[in-house]
Each structure stands twice: as structure tokens, then as C-alpha cells.
Amino acid sequence: MKIKKSAPPRTGIIRDYDSRKLSVKIALVVVYVFCVCIVLVSLFPIYWVLMAGFKDLREFMNSTSIHPSVFEFARYTRTWTQLGIMRNYLNSFYVIAGSVFFALVVNGLLAYGLAILKPKGHGIVNKMVVLSLLIPATIALVPLFINIMNMNMGGFFTPLWLAAGANAFYVIVFRQFFLSLPPSLIDAGRIDGCSQLAIFSKIVMPLSKPICVVVTIFTVNGVWSDFLLPYLVLGVGRWQTVMVRLFVFSTQQTINHDDLMRAVVFSMIPPIILFFIFQKKLTENIVTVGIKG
């Protein structure tokens, strides 16, 4: 005889007992309706841009309807071919790959030194990292660009990669996570004869997958939407990213607004895909690791 397992009781704000009350049910319906309205308002601009891409120039300028008269996917194909978006996609992916690597390794190494090694003066360095968050990014942009040009590093992705490896926010996030790691795991690695670099690469980073995923998501989102520094460093040559290409295309005199709408859609696709893949990682709490007894 099979015994049916009962569903586990709810442990959130509203318990099973509370959900039986009429007032609680009405409040839940109101909350759900409000959340649905927020979602619809948030998705409407994306939907409008997507529908505008199916229109030609005359319909785009004269029609007041959101939906096009004819859905022609060939217009998206034509805009993709004319603008050469594929090359800009590859350039953006190159920037993202290098930025993620430096964001994880360089920021992680500094956080490892501040949280685990703790050399002399680590408290002062930690305070300097925190205080650097008070400096607006626009103020540091001019001296950063001057140093890049003086070192003849313009025209390629290297400055963008290095900039991702000097992020104070990522250092603080890594440090807070490393402090929650069990010290016995670090001591076990030292007893086994591992060097500090081996402990970082073989023990600390594998245990830090949750925070690495979070930093990767923020890095990808920030690098993809970044415009000013790539525009200054890369210029309008063959290495321009999607955002730089979109800006250059919008400043041309022969631009068609319907082509511009389709180009905007192309620039929105990767962040949307990234959000749907990693939405749980963006919203869930980071679970710290422990030791099994």
C-alpha cells in the first residue's frame, strides 16, 4: 500500500492557515493583479520596438497602430545584412569574454589577499577599495583615457579587459563571500602543501561558484551595455561593439528610422536571453558552503 506524501507546509509570510481567510485571498488577488500590471508596463516598450521593426518607413511615420499591417521578417534580415551586425556581435563577445576573465581572476585575487591572506596593511587597502566607490565613474574616465592613449593601448580590447579587472564593487563582493568560507578548508590545503595560488584556484574559486556566477552576470550585462569607454578606445573602426555601431548608425544622415528600430532590437536580444537563463541566480540569495560532518 502506497502512502501519499503530504505537501510541505508553507513557511513564508502567508501560512496555509492564513490563506483560508477571505481577506487574505482578496489581498493576494490584488497583489497578483498589481504585479501583472507592472510586468505589462515593463514589457510594453520592448513589444513596441519589436513591432515597429516590422514596418517600412512610410508605415512607421504615418501609422498610429502598434501592430504592422504585414509581418515581413525579411526586413530584419535586410537590416542585419546591411549593418553587418554579426561582426559587431563577435566584437562584443570578445570584450565580454576577456572582461569576465579579468573580473573573476584579478578582482578575486585582490579579495583573496584581503580576506584570506591578510598581509600587513590589508585594512588600509580595504578602506581604499571601499572609498573608491564614492568616486563617480565619469570623473575617472578622463585620466583613464589619457593613460590609455599615453601607453598606446587604444584601438583594441585590452583596456576594456583591464578596466573590468579593477572593479571595487566586485572586490568587496568577493571579499565578503571569501570571509564566509570555512577556514578549515584553507588550512587543509596548506597542510597538503598547496601554494597560495593553488589554494585560490583549486579550493577557493571552486567553492565560490555562486558568487562567480553573480559577478559574471553583472559583468556581461555591464560590458554589453557600455558605450562611452568602448567608443573612446575602439573608435569607429572594425573593432567597434554593438552599442558603438548603433550610435554610429544613428548619427548617419541617410538613416531610416525603421532600420534603427530593428538595430535596437538586435542590441536587446542578448541581455534578454541572459536574463531568462540566469533569472534565478539574479533573484535568489547566495548560499554559503559548509562542511559535512
Q: What are the extents of the domains in the chain?
A: 18-78, 81-283
pLDDT of residue 1 exceeding 70, the answer is no
- pLDDT at residue 8 above 80? no
Question: Which segment, 37-46, 182-191, 255-264, is predicted with the most confidence on average?
Answer: 37-46
User: Nearest 5 degrees, angle CA 255-CA 260-CA 265?
Assistant: 165
pLDDT band, residue 107 (cuts 50/70/90): very high
Cβ atoms of 92 and 225 closer than 8 Å? no
Contact 265, 273 (CB under 8 A): no
Distance from C-alpha of 242 to C-alpha of 84, rounded to nearest angstrom? 10
Nearest alpha-carbon partner for 265 in 137, 73, 95, 90? 73
pTM, rounded to two decimals: 0.77
Rounded Cα distance between 3 and 63, Å, is 63
Higher pLDDT, 283 or 102: 102
**Which pLDDT score, from 0 to 100, does residue 285 have?**
43
pLDDT at 182 over 50: yes
Q: Is the pLDDT of residue 275 over 80?
A: no
Higher pLDDT residue, 285 or 115? 115
Q: Which three cell numbers stand for residue 253?
A: 544622415
Q: Which of 234, 263, 239, 265 is nearest to 251 (CA)?
A: 263
Are 96 and 164 a contacting pair, CB within 8 Å? no
Q: Which of 49-58, 101-110, 250-259, 271-280 has the highest mean pLDDT?
A: 101-110
Question: Does pLDDT of 3 surpass 70?
Answer: no
The pLDDT, as a whole number, for residue 16 is 64
pLDDT > 70: percent of the chain: 86
Instruction: Name the class of domain 81-283.
Output: mainly alpha
Instruction: Find, among 72, 33, 25, 35, the residue nearest to 51 by Cα.
Output: 72
d(CA 231, CA 156): 11
Range with the largest mean pLDDT of 10-19, 148-157, 245-254: 148-157
Is 101's pLDDT higher than 90?
A: yes
CA distances from 6 to 1, 10, 114, 245, 277 (A): 16, 12, 48, 57, 31
Q: What is the pLDDT of residue 106?
A: 92
Q: In this predicted structure, what is the pLDDT of residue 2?
A: 52
Q: Which of 225, 231, 226, 240 is nearest to 84 (CA)?
A: 240
